[in-house]
Amino acid sequence: ESPTQRVGAEPLKSFGQVTHAIPMLSLDNAFSEAELSEFDRRVRERLQMGEQHITYSAEPKLDGLAVSLLYRNGNLEQAATRGDGMTGEEITQNVRTIQAVPLRLRGNGVPGLLEVRGEVFMPKAGFERFNDTARKRGEKTFVNPRNAAAGSLRQLDPRITAQRPLAMYCYGTGQVEGTTLPDHHSAILDQLREWGLPVSPERRSVTGVEGCLEYYQKIQSRRDNLPYEIDGVVYKVDDIEQQRRLGFVSRAPRWALAHKFAAQEELTRVVDIEVQVGRTGALTPVARLEPVFVGGVTVTNATLHNEDEVRRKDVRIGDTVVVRRAGDVIPEVVNVVTERRPADAREFLMHTRCPVCGSEVVRVEGEAVARCSGGLFCSAQRKQSIKHFASRRAMDVEGLGDKLVDQLVDEGLIDSVADLYRLTAEQLAALERMGEKSARNLVDAIETSKATTLSRFLYALGIREVGEATAAALAADLGSLDAVKRADEERLQQVPDVGPVVAAHIVRFFQQPHNIEVVEALIAHGIHWPAIEHSAAQDKPLAGQTFVLTGTLHRMTRDGAKALLQSLGAKVAGSVSKKTSYVVVGDDPGSKLAKAESLGVEVLDEAAFIRLLDEYGMTP
């Protein structure tokens, strides 16, 4: 337990992956009393409790990062981030440096295996101190404690994490072997505390909606005085047997609710409305604001989305506006205080020429977005596409930040993403504010990024409408870059989540000679990925099977069922054909049931469907 025991290990090259044996769920949100009452009503109805009150465990909703800790025989063996809920990153070395986290459990009855889940956060005081020091040293500061916690846990070198004032509160469990935990959530938290794990001292058992509201108000009134940031409270049905009966829907349990504090709003003045050019040429009007402190950060810009939105809200330069910031989302202009409009307030006019490259601006009929037609001739689009390519979830080129990309393009060192792989340490070291060591590190990072996965690569290309999920689906289904390039729109639409619009964007992308050139140059520079993704897809238990869902399901939503099936490798189609393996039928099925019967396709009712999911460990 001594501090020196906590940081033992050497820096990592990258984080390993951890698959959560039990998915880490998220929470449904409520913003009003009415939504809370509705939640409570649904709970009582499902449990057939009539007017009887439910006991809830009420806890602050901490604003940090969800992590899972695995204790084997009482020893901390592994720690992981939530990630997408199914797979997270292994951050054991870093979590070991958090003083609040015991390396060894104490007390009686410590189970053979205990997975604890909770929130890692940076207390407000530590956050202020950290930023003060960073400011004095001219180093990077964090905008809020939540980002600070996330940034600190994402360090490859645990010695850096060890210097960050992180803390943790546990709020639940995952896998448990070798003991039976208490039958109420509140008692489980008490038990965790006895084993030496930190749990929130603010947790309370409350009764019914009234008890929840009372708790909510009390915590809200103390919010500013709490030593850490919270963004609401969480209510959980306390009785574990009741939790089990309620189950969950797709990504969130039916037995818990996050009751969020209202978004924070402030007044400020619009100094100007500028236009930003995005990766796909989209022109976004952005309000430049007089700096204002909202929801824990100083806001100087707010997106106005598009021209129509500016008209609808009638935002003019010089206006006083209400700015809102909720959670981590981009600040937005809620409305204009028209009474305060000055006589010289100016209306915003969308540019007819791109403010960066001067190309014509086009707005396709029926679309809200105006776009620069310059394509990769436009340096703004080039910059954005390079930033996207290098970003963490794409090629993950560490150290290639936005400012540096701007600099590289402006200096004419790179024109396309392929040019990154031609950069030399000498060229980089000659840049302003770049030392020899940083230059070398960047060249190394660029080199490291060459080993990637097909899905990251497809995502990195920045094809319109191809986000991470679609890229992953394309990689899993088509298996190789060649197959993606060759696929026509019809084939692409067989990929889960790919509709006609996305299919058309993909085909168009690979028809452009310029894009082909860049892709070929990238491959020639040595970008590569393991060719296993396709076989991995085929190894999944339901690979090659096609499901059709029809009617209302009770234990899950249609989207939830689809996601579960896809994660098992199945395809989910919209219509029944001879090739359909199963039709899953809920209440009030449409004509698809008749079609299935006429074609002799196997039909599963909800119970049979759940048994099938159960067989593969996917209980909804």
Residue numbers of the site for ligand IVH (CB under 6 A)?
25-27, 59, 61-62, 66, 82, 119, 171-172, 234, 253, 256, 258
Residue that is written with structure tokens 């916690």 in the block: 149
Distance (Å, whole) CA 595 – CA 304: 47
Q: Whole-number minimum distance, CB 571 to ligand IVH, in Å?
A: 29
Tokens of 29: 């949100």
Nearer to ligand IVH, 234 or 584 (CB): 234
Which of the following is catalytic: 13, 61, 136, 578? Answer: 61
Nearer to ligand IVH, 26 or 438 (CB): 26
CB-neighbour burial class of residue 531 (10 A; exposed 0-12, middle 13-18, buried 19+): exposed
Tokens of 467: 């986000």
Which among 38, 438, 488, 15 is positioned nearest to 235, based on CA atoms? 38
Taking the CB of residue 296, how many other CB atoms lie within 10 A of it? 16
Nearer to ligand IVH, 258 or 350 (CB): 258
Which residue of the chain is nearest ligand IVH when measured via CB?
66
Nearer to ligand IVH, 66 or 299 (CB): 66
Nearer to ligand IVH, 146 or 371 (CB): 146
Alpha helices in 379-422 (DSSP H): 379-390, 402-410
Active site residue 592: no
Which among 373, 463, 453 is positioned nearest to 417, based on CA atoms? 463
Taking the CB of residue 433, how many other CB atoms lie within 10 A of it? 8
Q: Whole-number minimum distance, CB 261 to ligand IVH, in Å?
A: 13
Q: Whole-number minimum distance, CB 234 to ligand IVH, in Å?
A: 4
Distance (Å, whole) CA 503 – CA 511: 12
Q: Whole-number minimum distance, CB 184 to ligand IVH, in Å?
A: 15
Distance (Å, whole) CA 588 – CA 586: 7
Distance (Å, whole) CA 207 – CA 237: 10
Length of the chain: 620
**Torsion angle, alpha carbons of 98, 148, 25, 218, to 10:** 90
Amino acid sitting at position 133: T
Q: Is the dihedral of CA 486, 492, 498, 504 positive or negative?
A: positive
Q: Whole-number minimum distance, CB 229 to ligand IVH, in Å?
A: 11
Nearer to ligand IVH, 214 or 465 (CB): 214
Tokens of 432: 């302003």
SS3 state of residue 457: helix
Nearer to ligand IVH, 119 or 239 (CB): 119
Q: Whole-number minimum distance, CB 102 to ligand IVH, in Å?
A: 19
Instruction: Check: CB of residue 286 under 8 Å from CB of residue 299.
Output: no
Nearer to ligand IVH, 27 or 212 (CB): 27
Distance (Å, whole) CA 188 – CA 587: 37
Q: Number of C-alpha atoms within 13 angstroms, CB side, residue 545?
A: 21
Q: Whole-number minimum distance, CB 218 to ligand IVH, in Å?
A: 16
Instruction: Quote the distance between the C-alpha of residue 40 and its chain's center.
Output: 28
Distance (Å, whole) CA 376 – CA 368: 22
Tokens of 342: 């000055």
Task: Report which DSSP code applies to 420.
Answer: G
Q: Whole-number minimum distance, CB 146 to ligand IVH, in Å?
A: 10
Task: Report which DSSP code applies to 278.
Answer: -
Q: Whole-number minimum distance, CB 618 to ligand IVH, in Å?
A: 17
Nearer to ligand IVH, 75 or 217 (CB): 217
Residues with a known catalytic role: 61
